[in-house]
Amino acid sequence: MSTVRETAGYLPGLQPHEVQWHTLSFARQGDTLEVAVPMLTDAQTVALANRVKTASRSYLKSITVAQIVATVDQAIARLLDPQDPYRQKMDQLLPWVTGYDDDMVRLGLTGYLKTFRQPQLQRFLVEDFGNPLLLDTFQPRAKGGFAKAFGVDLAVHVWAGNVPGLPLWSLIAGLLVKSGTVGKVASAEPLMAGWFAQLLADIDPRLADCLAVVWWKGGDTKREACAFAQADLVLAYGGNAALAQIRQQVPATTRFLPFGHKLSFGMVSAQALDARKALKTAQLAAFDVMRYDQQGCYSPQVLYVERGGKVIPEVFARYLAHELACLETKYPRRALDLAESASLAAWRQTEELKALAQPGAAVLGEGAWTVVYRDTPQALAPSALNRTVLVVAVDQLAQVMPLLAPHRAFLQTVGVAAAPRELFTLAESLGQMGVTRICALGQMTSPEAAWHHDGRCSLLDLTQMVDIESGAETASEALAPYVD
């Protein structure tokens, strides 16, 4: 048995001896990882926020977005290098903290980090702004006049820790719009954001004061109120109850962008269920269920499978069960705590009782994964997560739409296996039901760099547009020194 110690957070202008530290402990195979997280006083929080604001105004807003993209690209290149000390630390400690399988984290991080390379960031900027130079200087508008996008001086980010590396998304987005960032890490994963901030500062020391990574215990309304009072914008990720509590702490004049829990599912057309395609489709669906044990909002909890293919839905459910069993051997599910184990056992027992009363229903699997098959249409409902999924047979995928209505406010990603014409027909109906992302099965847990998170413009929402009207430009001509 051994104990490993690591310090989380990133606090420009503060020395370690000036800060009170709280220890979070993570056990694994008899060893313990102790992570020290900073607990700032109100005065330290205010001073840190002012430092970041000043640096945001004096440096971040003075450089071009191309320079920021280049710096982020350098950081990502470092993290994609298996020999880099930061990447080695991530590969070693993030599985320990999160409980996920080492290879799952390693491969997942690599895929995730690739979405933040220079070409992907350039697409990200073009997607939201069309002309990324809007972030640098006033640009001409088609109707006349000029416009520029301004990021706020200080955005406070409250991050969730259910998926490794999650904070990078909003942290990088804040940098791209030239906003100073104070990010609050989750107790479940307090490490990666601080490492990334330090890496950016190593690459460009002038960025050192433009970022800070802090911690406070979830629900600490006193510390939340102090941090939010300094912010021009608050972004928060988490459960709906936690977001409602955070909203109460955000001043009425401060913009608040919440990202709550969502519900995602898959749809399998009969065209994907011939003898050649069905097994591959099951493999793709199983990968989406396995990755990070369904802890992400984009993970499928239900799969609607259409009748009419050569492989019937019940057999597809058995294919899926087989693939989950294989993936459990390759990427074992993380150990569950008592509450998670009890919740999963209760869910499975309930589903077994339902199966006894429904002809054609079945519960497949033991231990680390469960596939529940239903032979009649079932309303969309959450599973127990941790590799539990409901497979529902339908005569036509169009039958699914009425089953989604009760969850309209919570819908996010749908993984679809269908031919092109059917894909676009389904997309139209799904969009009307409130779905915001449609992707291929096997890609549900890997959103593209420029995706619209919960239907929003990820960068544009972080800025405000400033217009110079054409009349102002015309009027200025009369005051020019070259006018007679």
CATH of the domain at 291: 3.40.309.10
What confidence tier does 148 reach under pLDDT thresholds 50, 70, 90?
very high
Asked whether the predicted pLDDT for residue 449 surpasses 80, the reply is: no
What confidence tier does 483 reach under pLDDT thresholds 50, 70, 90?
confident
**How many C-beta neighbours within 10 Å does residue 325 have?**
17
- Domain span at 376: 263-451
Q: How many CA atoms lie within 13 A of 388 on its CB side?
A: 20
The mean pLDDT value for 412-440 works out to: 97
Domain count, the chain: 2
Is 93 a member of any domain?
A: yes
pLDDT at site 46: 97
Please write the tens of the pLDDT for every residue from 20-54: 999 999 999 889 999 999 999 999 999 999 999 99
Q: Looking at the structure, do residues 237 and 350 belong to the same domain, yes or no? A: no
CATH of the domain at 153: 3.40.605.10
Q: Looking at the structure, do residues 357 and 284 belong to the same domain, yes or no? A: yes
Q: Give the H/E segment covering residue 354.
A: helix 338-357
Q: Looking at the structure, do residues 181 and 234 belong to the same domain, yes or no? A: yes
Average pLDDT, the chain: 95
Is 482 a member of any domain?
A: no
Please write the tens of the pLDDT for every residue from 245-261: 999 999 999 999 999 99
Q: Dihedral sign, CA of 286, 343, 95, 73?
A: positive
The per-residue DSSP string of 407-424 comes to GGGGEEEEEEE--HHHHH
Is 476 a member of any domain?
A: no
Please write the tens of the pLDDT for every residue from 309-338: 999 999 999 999 999 999 999 999 999 999
Is 477 a member of any domain?
A: no
Q: Are the C-beta atoms of 408 and 368 separated by less than 8 Å?
A: no
Please write the tens of the pLDDT for every residue from 279-304: 999 999 999 999 999 999 999 999 99
Q: Give the H/E segment covering residue 5.
A: strand 3-7
Q: Residue 392 has which token pair? A: 């529902």
C-alpha closest to that of 389 among 374, 411, 408: 374
Q: Looking at the structure, do residues 391 and 432 belong to the same domain, yes or no? A: yes
Asked whether the predicted pLDDT for residue 390 surpasses 80, the reply is: yes
* Beta sheet of 263-268, edge-to-edge order: 362-364, 370-374, 388-394, 300-306, 263-268, 411-417, 437-440
C-alpha closest to that of 151 among 255, 259, 42: 255
Asked whether the predicted pLDDT for residue 400 surpasses 80, the reply is: yes
Q: Looking at the structure, do residues 141 and 11 belong to the same domain, yes or no? A: yes
The mean pLDDT value for 219-228 works out to: 94
Q: Looking at the structure, do residues 272 and 246 belong to the same domain, yes or no? A: no
pLDDT at site 453: 86
CA dihedral 467, 472, 476, 478 (to 10 degrees): 160
Q: Looking at the structure, do residues 464 and 390 belong to the same domain, yes or no? A: no
Q: Dihedral sign, CA of 67, 72, 77, 82?
A: positive
Q: Looking at the structure, do residues 156 and 237 belong to the same domain, yes or no? A: yes
Q: Looking at the structure, do residues 226 and 281 belong to the same domain, yes or no? A: no
Asked whether the predicted pLDDT for residue 96 surpasses 90, the reply is: yes
